[in-house]
Amino acid sequence: MFKRATIVLMLIVFGTVIIALSGCEEKKAPTVISLDKGWLFHPGDNLEFAKPEYNDSSWKSIGVYEPWEKQGYPRLNGFAWYRTKVVIPSSIRDEADLKDSLIVKLGKIDDFDQVFFNGVLIGENLQNVKPGTKPANDFKDLKNSYWNEQRRYSLPLKSGLIKWDNTNVIAVRVFDWGGAGGIFAGELSIGMQSYKDYVKIIYNNGDFKSFGKQFEKKIVVKNISKNYTIEGEFSVNVVDNITDKKLYEKEVPMSLPPKGKNYFSFTFDKPKESAKVEYEFEFKNDEEKIITEGVPYILTPPVKETPQINGALVYGERINKPFLYRIAATGKRPLKFSAEGLPEGLTLNANTGIITGKVSKAGKYEVKISVKNTLGTDTKTLEIVIGNKLALTPPMGWNSWNCWGLSVSQKKVYDAAKAFVNTGLADHGWTYINIDDGWEIPGNSKKPKRKRNGEILTNEKFPDMQKLGKDIHALGLKFGIYSSPGPLTCGGYTASYGHELQDAKTFAKWGIDYLKYDLCSYRKMMKDQNSVEELMPPYIKMHKALMKINRDIVYSLCEYGNGKVWEWGEKVGGNLWRTTGDIWDDWNRLYQIGFGQAGLEKYAGPGHWNDPDMLVLGWVGWGPNLHRTRLTPDEQYTHMSLWALLSAPLLLGNDLTKLDDFTLNLITNDEVIAIDQDKLGKQASRVFNKDSIQIWKKPLADGTTAVGIFNTSVKNNDFVLDLVGLGFSWEVILRDVWKQKNIGVFAHTYPCRIPAHGVKLLKIIKK
């Protein structure tokens, strides 16, 4: 450890004065210049905008932490430009150890970008280009969107493009396919490239190989420079976040020739709770590069072999509509199901637990359901409510968007349905299999979009929607689809405008049970996208159509929370409504969306739910190429716990054919799911928010209270829960919901350690 060694040596020789000196020594002039302010914006396209001398004085200012839709350009798709001017002091070059290149970071850009530095194209869509390369005219041939990727371009000093101590102009040409657009998140800065930038520690985000009680991890440390040998010390530490114990430590000298790499593998005991790996490269010049990653840890005990009924215990349908309910139950197969008190018209398949039929009389039916195997029987009461309300608990299922994006196909959807059954997910209450955008004919295709009679057509990836519906129902699962009140969907596919009733009828013919109705292109027809008067009619129109068909279809409004949809979503017939823009697998986004739900609790209840968007656990990717979620294991526990407390619809968005033990554990904890599916349907409220700790509290139907203590900071936190402040002035039993274990009896306080970005999910049981 070079730096530490130097400091210790100096201490011995000169005493404490040197500590202060060594502190001063580190305070160099800033070597990185922020680019997060001072941007100007112009919709449309003109390559003249790239030129430094172009007069942009009439352009409007724009922020770079929100898409342009949120900043006065609600209907803009296609091209737009950003420009900024920046003085780059020569001191950053003079003080740098390496004098090769500038690194230009431009945040995340939705969808495509070309970056011009003093009029010259230096990078496009994540790739550096040789200065002088001609920009492509448009981005229309591109297959994958780069909307969620940080842009980072390197600009060699020898290009001669940089005007030191002078004004430089950066112009970014952006093309947005649809939905949100522009520079909207990430890091925006300019700085000199340093040794740090040349060393890559490739740790395959989350890929820990399991060998019995141990994990094995293989990583590669790479020098990507062509010219420098990089020397230093490389260390790996695995630390338990709860006990601070080191589970593994190793330090090795490392010398990496130009383009060289070193493999490093290590093995350690699987942690019982939260843990992290710290990879550190200390360079000879005292620079250091530190990367940390979370280690997966499983808290949920394995599924028991004795029978257990899971999932929602209240279920609503309308009179005389096709009824389908699959009793979710775990336990050693074969299981035998039985029911007492089923309303007339319904029958239960004793082998599958699937209840089907039609009920012609409204009412509340208390049905005693039992499930039996060689090891025992479990019995619970299922309340079937035949009336006018659906979704009496938040819908639980899967949606194709967060993994497959527009590359969804009939096969992928049916694979997800089969996986629900094969992996046992359906036995924990996961029910809906929903197709998102991408099943229709693209709006710009030459092919007919509808039959001659106006009936909407599917594209070639969905050869037989009716069959898909039948196949999904045969598994006891429900089938969902997606459309838009505008002429086109967000992905530019054909939508329902002018065909609402006809589409509702077609959906009924296909056996659809759930419709996500996404505003998107309808915005073009609105004057003000936040006007409630303009937002309500298209949703009412589709609701009326859904009321005319002979099926129950859960109605999911998707308009990103505009016009405070929670205040009127139920009035237009919505069973759930998105309260925010799209989610992605990044802590900041999760934080913004999840913890941003505070205050909305009064709008949620049985039949009408706030929807903070889908889950980003497991393998996700919004297109054909998937990656493991970029949330750490602790962040994933937070995601699932918060969504359950929020009574949020639980829609998985991952490739279900690629489920690892950790992800499966996260989504099959029946006590966590039961919090979400609780019959009372009360969304949690935030009751404490101080020093990066947030406490959310949700009353449950059995008289107990679910409480989530969230640590939103990057440091582990030793927290003392004030039970009295929470309303429990006498002894209570605390249950750790993830471990499904009572912790003990507590009065007044409960001390606990919450890992960085992690959670403690408790159930408080009055004694």
Binding site for ligand GLA (CB under 6 A): 179, 401, 436-437, 489-491, 518, 558, 582
Distance CA 550, CA 535 (A): 26
Quick one: 476 or 618, whose CB is closer to ligand GLA? 618
Strand 627-628 and strand 619-620: pairing? antiparallel
In DSSP terms, 11 is beta-bridged to none
Q: Which amino acid is at 623?
A: G
Shortest distance, position 454 Cβ to ligand GLA, whole Å: 23
CB of 478 to ligand GLA, least distance (A): 18
Output the six-digit token pair for 527: 């004057």
| Separation CA 533–CA 564 (nearest Å) | 12
- The Cα angle at residue 32 between residues 28 and 36, in degrees rounded to 5: 140
Q: State in angstroms the smallest separation of the CB of 430 from ligand GLA.
A: 19
Q: Which is nearer to ligand GLA, 558 or 646 (CB)?
A: 558
CB of 491 vs ligand GLA, minimal distance in Å: 4
In the bound complex, what is the minimum distance in angstroms from residue 401's beta carbon to ligand GLA?
5
Burial 595-623 (b: 16+ CB within 10 A, else e): bebeebbebbbbbbbbbbbbbbbbbbbbe
- Helix ranges (DSSP H) in 339-378: none
Structure tokens of 632? Answer: 């750490």
Q: What is the DSSP string of 480-525?
A: EEEE-SSSB-TTSBB--TT-HHHHHHHHHHHT--EEEEE-GGGGGG
Please identify, using beta-carbon distances, which residue of 518 and 552 lies nearer to ligand GLA: 518
Return the amino acid letter for 113. D
Residue placing its CB nearer to ligand GLA in the complex, 310 or 521? 521
Structure-block tokens of residue 306 = 């004795």
Q: Is-catalytic flag, 415?
A: no
Whole-angstrom Cα distance, residue 366 to residue 368?
Answer: 7
Closer CB to ligand GLA, 236 or 593, in the complex: 593
The three-point CA angle 154-156-158 to 5° equals: 170
CB 72 within 8 A of CB 160: no
Beta carbon nearer to ligand GLA, 343 or 491: 491
Output the smallest distance, CB 290 to ligand GLA, in A.
35
- Do 157 and 108 touch, CB atoms closer than 8 A? no
Cβ-based neighbours of 602, under 8 Å, separated by 6 or more: none
In terms of CB distance, is 112 or 325 closer to ligand GLA?
Answer: 112
Q: At its nearest, how many Å lie between ligand GLA and the CB of residue 610?
A: 15
Distance CA 94, CA 339 (A): 80
Q: Which is nearer to ligand GLA, 573 or 623 (CB)?
A: 623
Closer to ligand GLA by CB, 179 or 206: give it: 179
By beta-carbon proximity to ligand GLA, the closer residue of 78 and 89 is: 78
> Directed axis angle between helix 500-510 and helix 532-547, to 10°?
50
Paired residues of 450 in beta bridges? 456
Give me the least distance between CB of 560 and ligand GLA, in Å please. Answer: 6
**Angle at 134 (CA atoms; ends 130, 139), nearest 5 degrees:** 110
Active site residue: 113, 518, 634, 676, which one? Answer: 518
List Cβ neighbours of 670 (8 Å cut-off, separation of 6 or more): 308, 310, 330, 428
Instruction: Please give the Cα distance from 720 to 735 (Å, whole number).
Output: 16
Q: Nearer Cβ to ligand GLA, position 67 or 206?
A: 67
Alpha-carbon distance of 371 to 336, in angstroms, equals: 6
**Structure token pair of residue 529:** 């996208």
Whether 518 is catalytic is yes
Rounded least distance, CB 468 to ligand GLA, Å: 19
Closest separation in Å from C-beta 180 to ligand GLA? 7
What is the smallest separation between the CB atom of 182 and ligand GLA, expressed in angstroms? Answer: 14
CB atoms within 10 A of CB 379: 13
**What is the Cα Rg of the chain in Å?**
28
Q: Which of 552, 582, 586, 611 is catalytic?
A: 582
CA distance 250 to 234: 8
Instruction: Report the distance separating Cα 740 and Cα 430, nearest Å.
Output: 20
- Helix 410-422 vs helix 465-474: crossing angle, to nearest 10: 0
Of all residues in this chain, which one has the CB nearest to ligand GLA in the complex? 490
Strand segments, DSSP code E, in 521-672 are: 554-558, 576-578, 609-611, 619-620, 627-628, 650-652
Tokens of 129: 């280009």
Catalytic residue numbers, as ranges? 518, 582
